[in-house]
Structure 1
Amino acid sequence: MRAIEALVPRWPEGKRSCVALAFDLDGPTGGAMLDGSIWRNPSYFTLGAYGPWRALGRILDVLAGRDVPATFFVPAWVIENWPSQCRAIVERGHEVAYHGYMHEAFWTLTPDGQREVMASSTRIFERYLGVRPVGFRTPSGDWSAETIGILAEYGVRYSSSMRGDDRPYVLDAKSGLVEIPARWELDDYASLAYQRNPDYPAGLDRIASYDATLDNWCREFDGSHDDGLCMTTLFHPKVSGKPGRIALLEGFVDHVLQADDVWFASCSEVADWWIESKQ
């Protein structure tokens, strides 16, 4: 028995490990939208718009066919512009959560600026989807010292933004904010994203083999499952929701389903169970 076995949590119904599938439905939001350059680059805009407009439905069908839940972190601007597509996420039983308004880098915003983003996002989620989210994934991969307190002001109970463990953990004792850490190894951008101009990701001139990409994802699950941990993903519909690449998602989920002792859950379910199990 490896030493890590002493750290293995007990998941609901005696399941060995947990998988919380998560997708960042960014659309065309991000740096180019924030600086206005995307409006001079129709190709780049449509590359992002493909996510909510075309790829999302394909991903929802894959999840439905396997009866597994997922969490979608959605910039509020995307909800405003593709409301029916975003409503389909909720109607088909999945969770939606905060991801900024236009995918802002939270660490660059003042506390008031962060509050403004959270306030406008809350109004949009409630208006278009009838939902007040309890989860947050920082769009920028980082945040400022004030962010945790601001999230608590808006009823956020969990984050999936940091990298400090392979299991959920309490990120802030005062607010009780639970972190459900993701890892770059399970970010489809690392293997599959390609954009010629602007050059993003910087320096990328090719994409990885699909076989190697799927193998990497499956090996990450195997390690997490062996140690009884919690895995979540950083998948992007505009990247991996295309006709050829959707087979990677299908193959990954099917691989996980072969282990019949996995708890598939939304991120909010994971956070709630973790809080209750530690009381």
Structure 2
Amino acid sequence: MADSKVWPDGYRCAVVVTVDYNDIHGILTQAPEVAGRDKTLSVWRYGSQRGVDRLLGLLAELEVPGTWCVPGIVGEENPGHIQAILAAGHEIACAGYRHQNYDNLTLAEQTADVAKGCEALARLTGNRPTGFRIPAGNGAPGFIQALHQQGIRWSSSWRGDDLPFAHPTAPDVIELPLHYELEDEPYFAFNLSPAVPPGQSRIASYSHTLGNLLMDFAGFHRFGLCYVLRLHPEIIATPGRIGLLRELLESIQRHPDVWLTTAGDVAHWWAASATSVTEDHPAAVYERQYRSQGE
């Protein structure tokens, strides 16, 4: 059962709506061969063309705060959308500068990408981001400490848990874990040629997807956890799927004991009350492996 002391004001669980706004840069990382193929790229440009406005409209109508994770280059190429996101009262977090697979970068290169992304977003918004989501791949050993040095106070990149946790190597950085089943991309990302995904086994049923997301919310609510929804404007904000999202959010809002807020708010709360992770926690296991490799 849920522990009412986990969340403020007697809330039973937390729900965070996050949006990855990557425009075409996400697919160029995932499938570099689409570069120069404007018909294919238009599938992902749909986010900037239609999706961002439609998603902002729904969130405004339902009065749902969001956290938007944006690479710096996307902000520079779409400053009007960044201003609209800000004007709507949403949080903006950094996803590096160029959407890159961090597995291919050294720690120094990763750190430089984060710094450049934060600086670009700071110029556009007037505030340096305090949140981060890795665009793709993994951080190198020492990356969490590097995030802390860049002024990042929360991350939403890891998996392996359903409550926030403080990173052992940088306790001031709070992680809000993700789950694949709480994302739109595994259900709906699709392009015919070149094939995305390579196995070409999509598009999922809208009603079944909604059912999955509602069943997951029921479980997170029952156990008093942190439900982090990960969306993409080019995927979830089509004319049909935006209705799916509406039904999901309206269902969540019918629970008065749900803290529907931003990633930054959850991280701030957790930082003030978090205990150290246990020895068998994925973050602690990673830290021990990292230390043993350096010895």
TM-score (norm 2): 0.88
Structure 2 distance, partners of 1:53, 1:75, is 17
Structure 1 distance, partners of 2:195, 2:142, is 32
Which residue of the other structure, out of 30, 49, 68, is the alignment partner of 1:53? 49
Residues 38 and 45, structure 1, Cα contact 8 Å, conserved in 2 = yes
Structure 2 distance, partners of 1:205, 1:123, is 39
Query: For residue 28 of structure 2, what is the amino acid of its counterpart?
Result: A
Alignment partner of 1:192 is 2:194: no
Which residue of the other structure, out of 143, 147, 151, is the alignment partner of 1:147? 143
Give the aligned partner of residue 28 of structure 2: 32
> Which aligned segments of 4 or more residues in structure 1 are displaced greater than 4 angstroms?
33-36
Partner SS for 1:163: coil
Give the aligned partner of residue 216 of structure 1: 212
Partner SS for 1:234: strand
Structure 1 distance, partners of 2:138, 2:230, is 15
Alignment partner of 1:247 is 2:243: yes
Task: Give the CA deviation at 1:107.
Answer: 2.4
Task: Give the CA deviation at 1:96.
Answer: 0.6
Give the aligned partner of residue 289 of structure 2: none
Give the aligned partner of residue 19 of structure 1: 15
Which residue of the other structure, out of 215, 224, 237, is the alignment partner of 1:228? 224
Alpha carbons of structure 1 residues 104 and 24: separation in structure 2 relative to 1, 3 Å: same
Alignment partner of 1:132 is 2:128: yes
Task: Give the CA deviation at 1:189.
Answer: 1.0
Alpha carbons of structure 1 residues 11 and 116: separation in structure 2 relative to 1, 3 Å: same
Residues 17 and 228, structure 2, Cα contact 8 Å, conserved in 1 = yes
Give the aligned partner of residue 182 of structure 1: 178
Partner SS for 1:176: strand
Residues 29 and 101, structure 2, Cα contact 8 Å, conserved in 1 = no
Residues 24 and 72, structure 1, Cα contact 8 Å, conserved in 2 = yes
Structure 1 distance, partners of 2:126, 2:197, is 35
Alpha carbons of structure 1 residues 200 and 266: separation in structure 2 relative to 1, 3 Å: same
TM-score (norm 1): 0.93
Alpha carbons of structure 1 residues 35 and 204: separation in structure 2 relative to 1, 3 Å: closer
Alpha carbons of structure 1 residues 39 and 163: separation in structure 2 relative to 1, 3 Å: closer
Give the aligned partner of residue 95 of structure 1: 91
Task: Give the CA deviation at 1:122.
Answer: 1.8
Q: Across the two proteins, how many residue pairs are aligned to each other?
A: 275
Alignment partner of 1:105 is 2:101: yes
Residues 70 and 93, structure 2, Cα contact 8 Å, conserved in 1 = yes
Residues 148 and 172, structure 1, Cα contact 8 Å, conserved in 2 = no
Extract unaligned runs of 5+ from structure 2: 276-295
Query: For residue 123 of structure 1, what is the amino acid of its counterpart?
Result: E
Structure 1 distance, partners of 2:39, 2:80, is 23
Extract unaligned runs of 5+ from structure 1: none
Report which stretch shifted further, 102-111 or 90-99: 102-111
| RMSD over aligned Cα atoms | 1.8
